[in-house]
Structure formats: C-alpha cells, structure tokens
Structure 1
Amino acid sequence: MEGKNKKTKVFKWAAVLMLAAMMIVGCKQAQGNNSKEEKYEVTVSAGSNGKVTVAPELPTDKKVAKGQELTITATANTGYVVDKWTVTPADALQSGGTAGSDTAMVKVSAATTVNVTFKPVGGTPSTPPSGDVGSFEDTGDGFIKISPPAAGITGKDPTHTLPGMEEYWKGVFREERKVTLSPYKLGKTEVPYKLWKEVYDWAVKAENGYRFANAGVKGKDGSGTEEEPVTMVSWRDCIVWCNAYTHKTNNAESECVYRKSATDTTVLKNANDTTAWDAAYADMSKKGYRLPTEAEWEYAARWQGSDSTNADKYGEVWLTKLNSVSGAKGNWEDAEKTGEVAWYSGNADSKTHPVGIKKANALGLHDMSGNVWEWCFDRYEDNPRANDAAYTSGGFVVDPQGGAAGVFRVFRGGSWYHRAKDCVVGSRSGSAPGYGSVNVGFRLACRP
C-alpha cells in the first residue's frame, strides 16, 4: 500500500508541474498576442525611364515592422542612369542612395518614402525614340492617362500671330527649353459642384478635421445646376479638397499629396492656415488627387500627337498653336471653330454650363478652354523658365512646378466671362492663393 501511495504522490506532483508549465506557456502566448508589433507604411516609387524593386517585397498594405531593413534596387531604361534618390525621413537611409547608385538600404523607424529619378546618359537619350509622340488612354474612371514622349517636348518660339505681344501669350514650352513629364492622369472634365459638395460635406465633419475658406457654389453664382463646375473656391480650398477627397477615397491620409514640407509630412487640412498652405509641398510620389502642374495642363490642352492640323511641332509631337483654344482647328478669331469646343463670352450667355457638353480635344478632355479658369499648383512667374535650375537633370527640365517664390498661383484656360482670345492655350494667368471668383474652378490630376 505504501508503494502505491508513493506512486500516486509522484503522479500528482507530475500533474501539478505539467499544469504549471502549461500555465506559464499560456501566459507567454497571451502576452505575445496582446503585444502589438509596431509597423509603418513604406512607399517606394520611381520617375519615368526606370523602375524600382524592394527586397524583401512589401506586403499588400505596405506596412513594415519597425527595425526592418529593406534593399531598394533601381533599374534604368536603356539610355538612362539613376539621377537622384529622395528618402524621407533622411535618417532612414543606411547606405547607398547617392547620385548614380543603383541601390539604397533603408531601415524603417517611421513612415518612410523613397523615390528615385532617372536621367539620360550624357545629357541626352542615347537613342531618342523616333516618332514617339506620346500616347493616352481613357481609364474608365473619369480620367485620361497621359504618357508624354520619352524624348520630351522641345520648346520653340511661335511663328504665328498671337493675340498680343506680351510674354504671357506664349505658354510654357519656350525656345531652348526641353521639358520631360512623367505619365499622369487628368480629369476629363472640370470638377462639378455635385462632386465638390459630396466631398466637402464629408470633410468638414468634426471627426475628419478639414476646414475651408469658402464653401463653393454651383456654377456662376449658385443658381446653376449640380453638373456645372464649382466656383468661388480659392487655390487653398482646392488643395484642402484634394487631400480630403484622397482621404475619403482611401479611408486614410497615407496617399495625400499636399504636406507641410518635404521633411514635415503633416497632411494639410485647414485652408485658413495661410502660412502653411502658401508653402505647401507636393509629394508627387503619392497617388492621391491633386492639381495639375502648369506644364501638365498646357501639354494636355495642346497635344495632337501626329496631327499637324493647326499645330506646331515640338520635337516629335505636334501641339495646338498658341493662338487657338484647346481642340480647335482654327485660331481664336474663327468663331465657329472656337465655339465647337469652348464656352466663352461670345456664346456662353453670361454663365457657366454643365461640364463635358462641348466637343472634347484630341485627348478626350472637355472644357480645357472656357467655362471656368482652372487652378494649377505652380507659383506664377512671368518667365516660366525662371526656376528651371531646380528641376533640370541631364539637360531636361523634369516635371517643373513653377517659381521658387512669389505670391500668385497659376490658373489657365479662360472662362465663360472672357473673350475667345483670353481662352487660347498659350494664355497664362494667375492670382493670390486666397482668391475666389465666379469664373474660376479646377480640374483633378493624379499619378497613374
């Protein structure tokens, strides 16, 4: 009996020890399950003429654990080399990432963005694509994807008569200026009031935190329809709205384009914070909604590909003459040709009209001339080449964004209130970023 009792006691102690071990393991597992691993979003992008890969590959949600090291490899297209790496925050870069380097090692400790651009070998493409006039595609979501020619747009002085002698009639593709643009998407129409109001109402809710200087109105004075372009919105309002639309669409702020600065990535939300907004930084690596740059706007307004009708040749591509409205086959003095594609003072009956009614231009874009002026992101400079040094790479001005300083922001295209000559594709104008008018609206752009 004593031996049996001893065995029973041994079994009991063994059971107790096993239960204790199981409890310890269970506690550790529970602790592991309750601890949340820190992760941060990583965005990696490349300019035109090359691509990037990441090892290890980024997950679908782009969230990477804190402390993870990533190797980013840039591969340039034939005739191009790596030009510049941009890593934010800067201390994430561990090695590489210099001009000409094909790789960069980054360590994730915060939300991180990496962008690499490419430039032609020796300053010009080794074999410029012959006959490359660019291309476009209707993406079925209200946008046109625009792919400018890889060899760029070679500027030239006009040989035809302009509406005036001033420099502001001559557009941005000037003599001795070679501009290359990355592929981009542009809205087929100006933003109608209906879409503006839907996003505006969402944005101003307390939990979303956006603030506008102006609420916007339907068309000319609020008496129009919801399909007419929104007006009475300032440049600052448009920037706020673009961020809000991006936030609403993605259910997150991660792809918002407009930030406080290149180093302070705070998303801008308040149009009344004039100091922050007037220094707004556009993170072009993001896929969110934004205003087009002036060069993007003009290229889209003028593109004709290989069609030389009423056009001049800029390198390989034919662009509508500076003295005509977008999509017209005659100059501003031809009322019939102008009226086919534009609402202006001669045919608009002193008011705005629903977007998309007039005939589209060669890219399938409506109202690029007339109806309402359209805000662009750029600071206005009388000489569009004044700040080219900031964007020049390999002899090309790459994706320029206008002046380095100055108060005014650009708007283009003319309006229902203006004469036909004011609506021509070469006419440049602008105003203070807080300005709103019954004849000024905007059109959306974004990365493909």
Structure 2
Amino acid sequence: MKSIVIILMSCLVAVTVSAQGIIRRPAATKPKPTATKPKPTVRKPQSRGSSAVRPKPAHPKKEDPINSLAEPLRSHLKKLMADMVLVEGGTYMMGNPDRDRNDEYAKDVPHEVTLSSFYICKYEVTEALWTAVMGSNPSRDKLGDNYPVERVNWYDCQDFVEKLSELTGRHFRLPTEAEWEYAARGGKRSRGYRYSGSYALDEIGWHVGNAHYYKREVGTKKPNELGLYDMTGNVSEWCQDKLDIEYYHHSPSINPQGPDRSTYKDNRCFRGGSFCDDEKYDELKVYTRNTGMPPEEKYGHLGLRLAMSVN
C-alpha cells in the first residue's frame, strides 16, 4: 500500500513538473536590416596640367537704350543703326592727285593719311530723322521724310549728335574732313573715281544739271564702293574740322583732327557739293576743298551725314 502511495505521489509530481515545464517560445522574427551609410565621394585633385576650366559666370546682356524709347523715335533710331557702315581703317593719298605736292599755295596738295576704322551712315540725315530726334524740321524746303534735312548750321549739328549720343548710348559725331574724303573715295575698296562711286556724275549724284536746284530723296542714285549714297551732290555735308587752307602742308599723317584755327573767321569744312553745283566746276569731286562756312550760318543746300566712333 505504501508503495502504491509513493508511486501515485511520484506521478503527481511528474505531471506538475511537466505542466510547469511547458514554455511558450516567442515567434521567430526576421532581423531588421542594418542601415548602411553611403560612402562619401572622394574627388581626386586636378593636376595642374588638366585642360578642365571652370566656366566663368555669365554677365547679363546690357539692354540697348533704344528699346526703351517710344515710337516713332525707336524705329527711326533702329533704322539709323542698321544704316551705319563700318569703314575699315587704312592709308590713302588725300587731296587733289593732279596737284603738285610742292605747290605751297595750294589748299588741296596730295599727302598721305592713315585712319583708324570708323562708322559712317549710308545716307544723309533726313528730315524725318532730324524731326524725330529734335522735335522740329528746320529745312527751307520741307519736301518729305526721305529728303535730306538742310538749313542747319554747324552748331545745330553739334546739338543733334550730342542728343543722338544720349539717346542711343553711342558716340555719334560729324566725320572729320579726312574721314569724309576716305569714305567718299570708297575706303579700301576705292577704284579711284573722281566722283564718289563713278566717273559718270549722273549715275551717282544730284547736281544742278539734273536736280535743277532742288534737293532729291536720299538713296535714289547708285552708291559708291562702300554702299554710301549721295556722297557726291544732293546736299553738301558739314565736317567736324575748322578750315585752314595751309593745313594739308603740315597736318598729322595719322588720324588728323583738323587745325586749331581757321583761315577765314571761324570757318568749318563742308564737302561733297550739292544740287546747286555745276559739273564743269570741281565742287562735286571727292577731293575738292572749299573755303568753308562760318559755323553759325545756314543754307538750303547744306546738311550733314553722321559718323560714329567704333569704341
């Protein structure tokens, strides 16, 4: 009996231990991936001989002041800029080729001149352009927009180029006498004509024989070698220089700017001849000098053509 009790107690203890020994294990979970830091990019130092160049920061494009102007002035000035012709600098023989270089009394003796590049307008300044810039038309004969302005004195021209320079941000001016003649001859493209662009005056110029004392529309005759119109005839054109009849005998050979004094009063040069001039005289030839005109005087046959500095 005692042995039976011991066996039963042993079984009870075993069952108890077995019940207590049941342990629930947690469900297996996948391990979280370990975050890996990206490897830093290491730039190799450039060798001094490398051709790679860092780009320079782009500079903003400067706005053209003409674009801010109101119409019709803006259109007139845009056309003017399109009509400016680059005259490549060079060396030429200025003066009358038929004159003796040693003629001490001649005002147009031939002499060598070297010029830097400059711009000059294809056309004489028109009534329309002058009116758009200055607000009024001073011409004696107001014939229309495309006719050359006239009856402007040298001082009027200075006011005009100054205002034009302010409006456009460029340096407009009258051509020097040396620049005017070089351009009239055709610059580096010159074929040696006595008139600007031809030996035949009627092909390229308005003079008394075909204009009958009236100015004509600009650009209606043939241009010269540089594409310039009316350098011979139509209206005469003011130049920047004072007029000294002895200047050619001692003028600088490089970019002459004219004398410091005038032979007659304070006369200024003008060139090209006009619709009042006759073919049988020399006024219409590219090399002809006259005695100039006082800067305050105005005439119905005298206008201007614009030049502009390259820089």
Q: Verify the 8 A CA contact 1:384 1:403 in the aligned structure 2.
A: yes
Q: Verify the 8 A CA contact 1:216 1:233 in the aligned structure 2.
A: no
2:275 to 416, 422, 438: 416
Structure with greater helix share of residues: 2
Q: What corresponds to 1:434 in structure 2?
A: 296
Distance 1:195 1:423 in 2: 25
Distance 1:356 1:154 in 2: 27
1:425 to 282, 286, 290: 286
Q: Verify the 8 A CA contact 2:87 2:117 in the aligned structure 1.
A: yes
2:173 to 268, 290, 293: 290
Q: What corresponds to 2:248 in structure 1?
A: 385
2:97 is the counterpart of 1:158? yes
Distance 1:432 1:156 in 2: 22
Count of paired positions? 225
1:446 partner letter: M
Q: What corresponds to 2:309 in structure 1?
A: 447
CA deviation string 1:392-427 (max 9, x = no partner): xxxxx2211111112111000010111123211121
Q: What corresponds to 1:341 in structure 2?
A: 204
Structure with greater strand share of residues: 1
Runs of 5+ unmatched residues, structure 2: 1-58, 63-79
1:185 to 88, 111, 119: 119
Q: CA deviation at 1:375?
A: 0.3
2:50 is the counterpart of 1:167? no
Q: What corresponds to 1:147 in structure 2?
A: 88
1:441 partner letter: G
Question: 2:178 is paired with a residue of what secondary structure?
Answer: helix
1:366/1:405 Cα in 2 relative to 1: closer, same or farther (>3 Å)? Answer: same
2:280 is the counterpart of 1:359? no
Question: 1:346 is paired with a residue of what secondary structure?
Answer: helix
Q: Verify the 8 A CA contact 1:387 1:404 in the aligned structure 2.
A: no
Percent of residue pairs identical: 32
1:325/1:181 Cα in 2 relative to 1: closer, same or farther (>3 Å)? Answer: same
1:197/1:387 Cα in 2 relative to 1: closer, same or farther (>3 Å)? Answer: farther
Q: Verify the 8 A CA contact 1:386 1:403 in the aligned structure 2.
A: no
Q: Verify the 8 A CA contact 1:387 1:402 in the aligned structure 2.
A: no
Q: CA deviation at 1:307?
A: 6.1
Q: What corresponds to 2:184 in structure 1?
A: 301
| Within-5 A mapping of 1:222-233 | 222-233=141-152
2:229 is the counterpart of 1:369? no
Q: Verify the 8 A CA contact 2:87 2:187 in the aligned structure 1.
A: no
Distance 2:125 2:167 in 1: 16
Q: What corresponds to 1:112 in structure 2?
A: none
Distance 1:306 1:238 in 2: 29
Q: CA deviation at 1:387?
A: 5.3
CA deviation string 1:314-335 (max 9, x = no partner): xxxxxx3xxx32111x2xxxxx
1:242/1:346 Cα in 2 relative to 1: closer, same or farther (>3 Å)? Answer: same
Superposed CA RMSD in Å reads: 2.6
2:257 is the counterpart of 1:401? yes
1:154/1:369 Cα in 2 relative to 1: closer, same or farther (>3 Å)? Answer: closer
1:378/1:419 Cα in 2 relative to 1: closer, same or farther (>3 Å)? Answer: same
Distance 1:182 1:59 in 2: 30
Question: 2:248 is paired with a residue of what secondary structure?
Answer: coil
1:410 partner letter: C
| Within-5 A mapping of 1:229-248 | 229-248=148-167
1:247 partner letter: E
Question: 1:428 is paired with a residue of what secondary structure?
Answer: coil
1:423 partner letter: L
2:132 is the counterpart of 1:217? no
1:296/1:306 Cα in 2 relative to 1: closer, same or farther (>3 Å)? Answer: closer
1:327 partner letter: G
Question: 2:269 is paired with a residue of what secondary structure?
Answer: strand
Distance 2:161 2:189 in 1: 34
2:197 partner letter: G
Runs of 5+ unmatched residues, structure 1: 1-57, 62-138, 202-214, 251-286, 312-319, 331-336, 392-396
Distance 2:205 2:96 in 1: 25
Q: Verify the 8 A CA contact 1:187 1:445 in the aligned structure 2.
A: yes
1:385/1:198 Cα in 2 relative to 1: closer, same or farther (>3 Å)? Answer: same
Question: 2:172 is paired with a residue of what secondary structure?
Answer: coil
TM-score (norm 1): 0.47
Distance 1:373 1:416 in 2: 8
| Structure having greater relative contact order (Cα 8 Å, sep ≥ 6) | 2
1:306/1:194 Cα in 2 relative to 1: closer, same or farther (>3 Å)? Answer: closer
2:161 partner letter: C
Q: Verify the 8 A CA contact 2:127 2:142 in the aligned structure 1.
A: no
Distance 2:162 2:147 in 1: 22
